A and B are shown apart, each in its own frame.
Chain A
Amino acid sequence: MDWEPLIVSYLFGFVLLNVLLLAMAYMTWLERRLVAFFQDRIGPNRTGPFGLLQPIADAVKLISKEDIVPANADRLVFLVAPLLSFVLAPLGALVVPFGDAVTVFGRQVNLYVIDINVAALYFLAVGSMGVYGIILGGYASGNRYSLLGALRSTAQVISYELVLGLSLVGIFILTGSLSLVDILRVQQRTLVLGGLELPNWFLLSQPLAFVLFLIAAVAETNRAPFDLPEAETELIAGYFTEYSGFRFSFYFLAEYINMIVVSLIAATLFLGGIDGPFVDGVWWLAVKAFIFLFFYVWLRATLPRFRYDQLMGLAWKVLLPLALINIGVTGLVRLWGIGAL
């Protein structure tokens, strides 16, 4: 057996894990700065130039804080749950293609960690496994607010998970593949529409799916305006009420890494990933992912929180039927397109 591609993709994945951690650290800084500007404040600007050392200061502070385990907590589960959340968060990014193959030292190196034929399904599966960390942590805390926060979060994540999964079916119909590399290749073609040359991005052919995916992704990552699990006015801090120190920060890390991973996936599925004007490359993916991340912060600074019944009603009564309609219409158009109708 040839071990070399395995080792190369492992190393690439290892680098990716660390890049994600670094990106996550600066995402917290960016969010605090941006929200501050939205609210006409300055935000953290004292630690280093523009407050750029703030994430490091935060990490040092959190690591040196006491790690409290409440007396009536389920000790083992309480200790392991945040780690579970943190470990599962970056795995979704492994299937994102970061560019075309390049040649390094005379060897062909693929700019993705892995290309599996069920990549999109894998992303959804790994994404939904993160909820285990939340429900186990909330349950094991031995605190009513934690338990309620965990239950809410679980119900929310599984409801929006459906929408997330179903919104992508249209893309699969158009590409005939679940592999993100294949989906990207289809998007790198050119779409000619009435004499106008457009990129073949799925944003243009699947606009409804894009909106559904965007809403579901925000809900899936428990972010405002869908941050019900951590609604301070009702549940204190939700499922991580009892967590302190670095175990608390694992939940925090997981949330931000999830945001980044979802942004990367959304950019790859709908905005053509590395495809762009002039030269294709990872910078286009970074720009597009940044647009999504900025959108996340923008939403948080703009919208008030949903009420819980509104949240569940939106998923089941509006988004789910819309996702099914999108699949039906896409199917019909495709049937007509391939001449089977």
Chain B
Amino acid sequence: MSLASYAVIGLLLITAVIMGSALLFIGHFVRPRRPTPAKLQPYESGVPDVNPPRARFTPRFYLVALLFVIFDVEAIFLYPWAVAFDALALYGYVQAALFVGLLLVGLLYEWKKGALEWV
């Protein structure tokens, strides 16, 4: 009943969406709606907003995202290996060690390069 299980997840997802929307819909009748120009400004701790809202941010966030993609793929490759561990035995272990080892060298390189530093 594996595929059907995913259907249940889908149905429950839809149920959750309906429950959430219903809460917002009920609120629609009881909450006030009195927008004023001052109220609709972005919150800046009381100072007038002067800078563009989509501020520039440090490229380190991109670097983290790139590293994450590499290591997440690694984790995903390790999952099937872990499940079939007993069958693959030593051969599989050596293969996985080589694979992880290569990525570890990459991580050490990043580390040395300072990609993991935030200051």
Contacts and interface: CB of A to CB of B under 8 A. Distances in A.
A162 B71 contact: yes
B85 A113 contact: no
A172 B27 contact: no
B64 A340 contact: no
A70 B116 contact: no
Given A10-B11, A155-B61, A63 B83 contact: no
B39 to A, nearest CB: 6
A246 B8 contact: no
Interface residues of B, number: 69
A324 B107 CA distance: 12
- The interface centre, meaning the residue of B32, B43, B72, B100 with most chain A CB atoms within 10 A of its CB, is B43
Given A72-B53, A151-B61, A245-B31, A324 B100 contact: yes
A118 to B, nearest CB: 8
A141 B15 contact: no
A91 B14 CA distance: 11
Contacts of B20: 83, 86-87, 250
A30 B69 CA distance: 38
Nearest to B28: A67
A172 B79 contact: yes
Interface of B: 1-2, 4-9, 11-13, 15-17, 19-21, 23-24, 26-27, 30-35, 37, 39-45, 51, 53-55, 57, 61, 64-65, 67-68, 71-72, 75-76, 78-79, 82-86, 89-90, 93, 96-97, 100, 104, 107, 111, 116-119
